[in-house]
Protein backbone atom coordinates (compact mmCIF):
# COMPACT_ATOMS: atom_id res chain seq x y z
CA UNK A 1 0.00 0.00 0.00
CA UNK A 2 2.88 2.28 0.49
CA UNK A 3 3.60 2.85 -3.13
CA UNK A 4 0.08 3.83 -4.21
CA UNK A 5 -0.11 6.11 -1.20
CA UNK A 6 3.04 7.86 -2.26
CA UNK A 7 1.62 8.23 -5.76
CA UNK A 8 -1.60 9.62 -4.43
CA UNK A 9 0.29 12.02 -2.24
CA UNK A 10 2.33 13.15 -5.19
CA UNK A 11 -0.72 13.60 -7.34
CA UNK A 12 -2.51 15.35 -4.54
CA UNK A 13 0.41 17.61 -4.00
CA UNK A 14 0.21 18.86 -7.54
CA UNK A 15 -3.51 19.35 -7.24
CA UNK A 16 -3.21 21.08 -3.92
CA UNK A 17 -0.51 23.36 -5.22
CA UNK A 18 -2.73 24.21 -8.15
CA UNK A 19 -5.66 24.85 -5.84
CA UNK A 20 -3.57 26.96 -3.53
CA UNK A 21 -2.26 28.98 -6.40
CA UNK A 22 -5.83 29.70 -7.37
CA UNK A 23 -6.92 30.58 -3.84
CA UNK A 24 -3.92 32.51 -2.61
CA UNK A 25 -4.64 35.74 -4.42
CA UNK A 26 -8.13 35.77 -2.98
CA UNK A 27 -6.83 35.18 0.51
CA UNK A 28 -4.50 38.09 0.12
CA UNK A 29 -7.39 40.31 -0.63
CA UNK A 30 -6.50 41.16 -4.18
CA UNK A 31 -9.93 42.21 -5.25
CA UNK A 32 -9.51 43.44 -8.75
CA UNK A 33 -11.68 41.32 -10.91
CA UNK A 34 -9.81 41.76 -14.13
CA UNK A 35 -6.07 41.68 -14.24
CA UNK A 36 -4.23 43.58 -16.93
CA UNK A 37 -3.05 41.05 -19.49
CA UNK A 38 0.03 41.65 -21.54
CA UNK A 39 -1.72 40.09 -24.45
CA UNK A 40 1.33 37.91 -24.76
CA UNK A 41 0.74 34.34 -23.74
CA UNK A 42 4.39 33.71 -23.02
CA UNK A 43 4.36 36.29 -20.25
CA UNK A 44 0.78 35.98 -19.10
CA UNK A 45 1.42 32.29 -18.35
CA UNK A 46 3.88 33.30 -15.67
CA UNK A 47 1.53 35.70 -13.94
CA UNK A 48 -1.18 34.63 -11.55
CA UNK A 49 -4.65 35.12 -13.07
CA UNK A 50 -3.02 35.54 -16.44
CA UNK A 51 -2.09 39.20 -16.12
CA UNK A 52 -0.84 41.94 -13.85
CA UNK A 53 -3.02 42.06 -10.78
CA UNK A 54 -4.98 45.30 -10.56
CA UNK A 55 -4.99 45.91 -6.85
CA UNK A 56 -1.30 45.47 -6.31
CA UNK A 57 2.08 47.09 -6.25
CA UNK A 58 4.35 46.48 -9.22
CA UNK A 59 7.98 47.50 -9.28
CA UNK A 60 9.98 48.36 -12.33
CA UNK A 61 13.73 48.47 -11.95
CA UNK A 62 16.02 49.65 -14.71
CA UNK A 63 19.35 48.10 -15.47
CA UNK A 64 22.24 50.50 -15.16
CA UNK A 65 21.68 53.39 -17.56
CA UNK A 66 18.37 52.01 -18.75
CA UNK A 67 16.05 54.44 -16.98
CA UNK A 68 14.54 55.66 -20.26
CA UNK A 69 13.79 52.07 -21.28
CA UNK A 70 12.23 51.35 -17.89
CA UNK A 71 10.14 54.50 -18.10
CA UNK A 72 9.10 53.49 -21.60
CA UNK A 73 7.99 50.12 -20.29
CA UNK A 74 6.03 51.86 -17.54
CA UNK A 75 4.31 54.09 -20.09
CA UNK A 76 3.54 51.06 -22.25
CA UNK A 77 1.87 49.40 -19.26
CA UNK A 78 -0.17 52.55 -18.62
CA UNK A 79 -1.28 52.62 -22.24
CA UNK A 80 -2.70 49.14 -21.83
CA UNK A 81 -5.13 50.45 -19.22
CA UNK A 82 -8.15 51.25 -21.30
CA UNK A 83 -10.67 53.96 -20.60
CA UNK A 84 -10.42 57.69 -20.23
CA UNK A 85 -9.79 57.94 -16.53
CA UNK A 86 -6.75 59.99 -15.71
CA UNK A 87 -3.42 58.45 -14.83
CA UNK A 88 -1.40 59.99 -12.04
CA UNK A 89 2.36 60.11 -12.21
CA UNK A 90 4.01 61.12 -8.96
CA UNK A 91 7.35 62.66 -9.75
CA UNK A 92 9.63 63.58 -6.87
CA UNK A 93 12.16 66.35 -7.24
CA UNK A 94 15.07 63.99 -7.82
CA UNK A 95 12.83 61.91 -10.10
CA UNK A 96 14.27 61.30 -13.49
CA UNK A 97 16.33 64.40 -13.20
CA UNK A 98 19.45 62.98 -14.73
CA UNK A 99 17.38 61.84 -17.64
CA UNK A 100 15.27 64.92 -18.12
CA UNK A 101 11.54 65.02 -17.76
CA UNK A 102 8.64 63.24 -19.43
CA UNK A 103 7.93 64.79 -22.80
CA UNK A 104 4.33 64.97 -23.91
CA UNK A 105 5.01 64.47 -27.58
CA UNK A 106 7.16 61.47 -26.69
CA UNK A 107 4.42 59.97 -24.54
CA UNK A 108 2.17 60.41 -27.51
CA UNK A 109 4.65 58.66 -29.71
CA UNK A 110 4.38 55.66 -27.40
CA UNK A 111 0.61 55.76 -27.67
CA UNK A 112 -0.32 57.50 -24.43
CA UNK A 113 -2.64 60.47 -24.63
CA UNK A 114 -0.70 63.15 -22.72
CA UNK A 115 -3.84 64.92 -21.60
CA UNK A 116 -4.73 61.78 -19.67
CA UNK A 117 -1.60 61.97 -17.60
CA UNK A 118 -1.55 64.19 -14.53
CA UNK A 119 1.87 65.00 -13.21
CA UNK A 120 2.18 65.35 -9.45
CA UNK A 121 5.48 66.93 -8.46
CA UNK A 122 6.58 66.54 -4.88
CA UNK A 123 9.40 68.08 -2.93
CA UNK A 124 10.11 65.41 -0.34
CA UNK A 125 9.74 61.74 0.14
CA UNK A 126 6.95 62.18 2.67
CA UNK A 127 4.90 64.10 0.14
CA UNK A 128 5.64 61.53 -2.53
CA UNK A 129 4.29 58.68 -0.46
CA UNK A 130 1.35 60.75 0.73
CA UNK A 131 0.44 61.76 -2.82
CA UNK A 132 0.57 58.17 -4.06
CA UNK A 133 -1.59 56.94 -1.24
CA UNK A 134 -4.10 59.79 -1.61
CA UNK A 135 -4.36 59.13 -5.32
CA UNK A 136 -5.02 55.45 -4.74
CA UNK A 137 -7.51 56.00 -1.96
CA UNK A 138 -9.55 58.45 -4.01
CA UNK A 139 -10.14 55.66 -6.55
CA UNK A 140 -10.34 58.40 -9.19
CA UNK A 141 -7.43 57.44 -11.47
CA UNK A 142 -7.16 54.37 -13.61
CA UNK A 143 -3.70 53.76 -12.24
CA UNK A 144 -1.04 55.48 -10.21
CA UNK A 145 2.59 55.48 -11.20
CA UNK A 146 5.39 56.80 -9.11
CA UNK A 147 9.10 57.19 -9.04
CA UNK A 148 10.84 56.48 -5.80
CA UNK A 149 14.41 55.62 -5.02
CA UNK A 150 14.27 54.05 -1.58
CA UNK A 151 11.53 51.74 -0.49
CA UNK A 152 11.58 49.73 2.70
CA UNK A 153 9.43 46.76 3.53
CA UNK A 154 7.00 48.65 5.69
CA UNK A 155 6.39 51.40 3.16
CA UNK A 156 5.94 48.94 0.36
CA UNK A 157 3.45 46.97 2.45
CA UNK A 158 1.53 50.12 3.15
CA UNK A 159 1.42 51.10 -0.51
CA UNK A 160 0.51 47.59 -1.53
CA UNK A 161 -2.37 47.56 0.94
CA UNK A 162 -3.61 50.92 -0.31
CA UNK A 163 -3.53 49.56 -3.86
CA UNK A 164 -5.26 46.34 -2.83
CA UNK A 165 -7.97 48.15 -0.89
CA UNK A 166 -8.85 50.28 -3.86
CA UNK A 167 -8.30 47.72 -6.58
CA UNK A 168 -5.97 50.01 -8.50
CA UNK A 169 -2.54 49.15 -9.81
CA UNK A 170 0.41 51.09 -8.49
CA UNK A 171 3.53 51.07 -10.64
CA UNK A 172 6.73 52.14 -8.99
CA UNK A 173 9.78 52.95 -11.03
CA UNK A 174 12.86 52.71 -8.88
CA UNK A 175 15.82 54.30 -10.57
CA UNK A 176 18.14 53.16 -7.81
CA UNK A 177 21.76 53.01 -8.72
CA UNK A 178 22.70 52.66 -5.08
CA UNK A 179 20.67 49.54 -4.46
CA UNK A 180 22.48 46.24 -4.68
CA UNK A 181 21.65 44.15 -7.67
CA UNK A 182 20.33 40.66 -6.94
CA UNK A 183 23.55 39.22 -8.27
CA UNK A 184 25.60 40.74 -5.51
CA UNK A 185 23.90 39.84 -2.34
CA UNK A 186 20.13 39.67 -2.74
CA UNK A 187 19.42 42.82 -0.78
CA UNK A 188 16.09 42.81 -2.54
CA UNK A 189 14.58 39.66 -1.22
CA UNK A 190 12.07 40.23 1.48
CA UNK A 191 12.66 43.94 1.07
CA UNK A 192 9.38 44.65 -0.59
CA UNK A 193 5.77 43.63 -0.61
CA UNK A 194 5.59 44.00 -4.36
CA UNK A 195 3.52 41.63 -6.43
CA UNK A 196 5.91 41.71 -9.37
CA UNK A 197 9.29 43.17 -10.02
CA UNK A 198 10.42 43.79 -13.56
CA UNK A 199 13.97 44.52 -14.50
CA UNK A 200 14.19 46.36 -17.76
CA UNK A 201 17.20 46.60 -20.01
CA UNK A 202 17.68 48.24 -23.39
CA UNK A 203 17.82 46.32 -26.63
CA UNK A 204 18.39 47.36 -30.22
CA UNK A 205 15.06 48.40 -31.70
CA UNK A 206 13.13 46.56 -34.34
CA UNK A 207 13.68 47.97 -37.79
CA UNK A 208 11.88 47.76 -41.05
CA UNK A 209 13.61 46.70 -44.20
CA UNK A 210 14.90 50.20 -44.82
CA UNK A 211 16.61 50.19 -41.47
CA UNK A 212 14.14 52.61 -39.86
CA UNK A 213 13.25 52.07 -36.25
CA UNK A 214 9.71 50.80 -36.00
CA UNK A 215 9.26 49.40 -32.54
CA UNK A 216 11.07 49.84 -29.26
CA UNK A 217 12.52 46.71 -27.76
CA UNK A 218 13.30 45.91 -24.19
CA UNK A 219 14.87 43.05 -22.32
CA UNK A 220 12.44 42.14 -19.60
CA UNK A 221 13.21 40.01 -16.66
CA UNK A 222 10.48 39.17 -14.20
CA UNK A 223 12.53 38.84 -11.04
CA UNK A 224 9.80 38.43 -8.54
CA UNK A 225 6.29 37.34 -9.07
CA UNK A 226 4.11 36.46 -6.17
CA UNK A 227 2.08 33.33 -6.89
CA UNK A 228 3.66 33.15 -10.31
CA UNK A 229 6.92 32.23 -11.93
CA UNK A 230 9.84 34.36 -12.91
CA UNK A 231 11.07 34.58 -16.47
CA UNK A 232 13.01 36.50 -19.05
CA UNK A 233 11.91 37.78 -22.42
CA UNK A 234 12.87 40.08 -25.19
CA UNK A 235 9.75 42.06 -26.04
CA UNK A 236 8.94 44.73 -28.52
CA UNK A 237 6.20 47.25 -28.17
CA UNK A 238 3.97 48.37 -30.96
CA UNK A 239 2.91 51.90 -30.12
CA UNK A 240 0.21 51.95 -32.77
CA UNK A 241 -1.61 48.78 -31.75
CA UNK A 242 -0.58 49.21 -28.09
CA UNK A 243 0.66 45.63 -28.09
CA UNK A 244 3.60 43.74 -26.82
CA UNK A 245 5.10 40.97 -28.87
CA UNK A 246 8.09 38.74 -28.51
CA UNK A 247 11.04 39.89 -30.52
CA UNK A 248 12.30 37.40 -33.03
CA UNK A 249 15.97 37.85 -32.50
CA UNK A 250 17.11 37.28 -36.02
CA UNK A 251 14.27 38.94 -37.82
CA UNK A 252 16.00 42.25 -37.38
CA UNK A 253 17.45 43.38 -40.66
CA UNK A 254 19.73 45.84 -38.95
CA UNK A 255 21.27 43.21 -36.75
CA UNK A 256 21.54 40.55 -39.43
CA UNK A 257 23.17 42.96 -41.81
CA UNK A 258 26.91 42.62 -42.14
CA UNK A 259 29.00 45.01 -40.20
CA UNK A 260 30.39 47.90 -42.20
CA UNK A 261 27.42 48.11 -44.46
CA UNK A 262 25.57 51.39 -44.27
CA UNK A 263 22.57 50.33 -42.22
CA UNK A 264 20.55 53.51 -42.28
CA UNK A 265 18.96 55.70 -44.75
CA UNK A 266 20.14 59.21 -44.99
CA UNK A 267 17.51 61.79 -45.67
CA UNK A 268 17.35 65.52 -46.13
DSSP 33-47: SS-B--S-HHHHTTS
Between CA 101 and CA 69 the distance in angstroms is: 14
Between CA 175 and CA 61 the distance in angstroms is: 6
Between CA 218 and CA 229 the distance in angstroms is: 19
Of the candidates 37, 39, 50, 104, which one interacts with other proteins according to CB under 8 A? 104
Helix (H, G, I), strand (E, B) or coil at 179: coil
94 binds other proteins (CB under 8 A): no
131 binds other proteins (CB under 8 A): yes
Between CA 114 and CA 247 the distance in angstroms is: 27
* Phi-psi label, residue 201: left if phi above 0, alpha if psi -120 to 50, beta otherwise: beta
Touching other proteins, residues 13-72 (CB under 8 A):
65-66, 68-69, 71-72
251 binds other proteins (CB under 8 A): no
Residue 140 or 161 having the CB closest to other proteins = 140
115 binds other proteins (CB under 8 A): yes
Touching other proteins, residues 202-221 (CB under 8 A):
202-205, 207, 211-213, 216-219
258 binds other proteins (CB under 8 A): no
In the 8-state DSSP scheme, what is residue 116? G
Angle at 145 between CA 159 and CA 166, to 5 degrees: 45
With contacts defined by CB under 8 A, name the span among 9-17, 26-34, 53-61, 116-124 that binds other proteins: 116-124
Of the candidates 135, 147, 151, 164, which one interacts with other proteins according to CB under 8 A? 135
Tell me how long the chain is: 268
177 binds other proteins (CB under 8 A): no
Q: Decide the pairing of beta strands 243-246 and 231-238.
A: antiparallel
265 binds other proteins (CB under 8 A): yes
* Residues of the shown chain interacting with other proteins in the complex, contacts defined by CB under 8 A: 65-66, 68-69, 71-73, 75-76, 85-86, 88, 96, 99-110, 113-115, 117-123, 127, 130-131, 134-135, 138-141, 201-205, 207, 211-213, 216-219, 254, 263-268
Amino acid sequence: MTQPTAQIVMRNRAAVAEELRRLLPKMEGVRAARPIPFGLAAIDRHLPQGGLACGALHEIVPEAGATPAAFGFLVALLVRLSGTNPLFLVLPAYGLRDYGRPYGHGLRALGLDPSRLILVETAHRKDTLWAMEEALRSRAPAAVAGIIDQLDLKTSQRLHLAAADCGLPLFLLRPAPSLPSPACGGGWEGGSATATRWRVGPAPAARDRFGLITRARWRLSLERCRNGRTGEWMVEYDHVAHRFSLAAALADPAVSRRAGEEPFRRAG
